[in-house]
Amino acid sequence: MNNQEIIKKVAGMVRQKLEGEGSGHDWWHIYRVWKMAIHIGKEEKADMFVVELTALLHDIADWKFCGGDDTVGPKEARKILFKLEVSEEVIVHVCEIISTMAFKGAGVKSIVRTLEGKVVQDADRLDAIGAIGIARVFAYGGHKGRAIYDPEHKPVLHKTKEEYIKAEGSSVNHFYEKLLLLKELMNTDSAKKIAKERHKFMEEYLDRFYKEWEGKV
């Protein structure tokens, strides 16, 4: 198989596994990250085969749904890529990115080593902000049984992955614990430009949210 045939096969496998998932980490999240990663990757002149495979497989087994075990995703990605006879060099690169790219709390550094990792990390983080990000944060909050908002419980900037996993704050708190932090964490110039507008939209949304919360018109 050539590279495009492999990408098509991987996309089909991922769609079959994640379609219909209800927490905001479904196939369409993967699809958006994939398309955004292609856009950024081309602008940044990255290795597009690595970029596309990583974008497609980055949430094949999300650590948040695996008891915090961030080794499960890379292992699942390796199985798929090995079965499709992808080179060991590419498999190692893809799995390294998947294991290091996730946001795990405000005080936890998640540094990706390569340009391809930076591209996919940016694409994933862009899908967590703006209009889509707002939709996803409430979808995930509903999935976890979290309150939409509780003004008596303030946001917490988690210092460890364990604190982040155990967080029980409201969905609105998550804006301050993650979403509003992402603009400053973008790696590439391409993503920084996109993030600026999406960040502004979230700030405007929150301003409107608090007004409506207090019954203001």
Q: Which of 176, 175, 171 is nearest to 148 (CA)?
A: 171
Cα–Cα distance measured from residue 9 to residue 148, given in angstroms and rounded to the nearest whole number:
38
Residue 129 in tokens = 């902000």
pLDDT (tens place) for every residue of the chain, 217 residues total: 899 999 999 999 999 999 988 778 899 999 999 999 999 999 999 999 999 999 999 999 876 655 667 788 999 999 999 999 999 999 999 999 999 999 988 888 888 999 999 999 999 999 999 999 999 999 999 988 999 999 999 999 998 888 888 888 999 999 999 999 999 999 999 999 999 999 999 999 999 999 999 998 7
- The pTM of this model reads 0.94
Please give the class, per CATH, of domain 3-213: mainly alpha
Q: Which of 44, 199, 65 is nearest to 114 (CA)?
A: 44
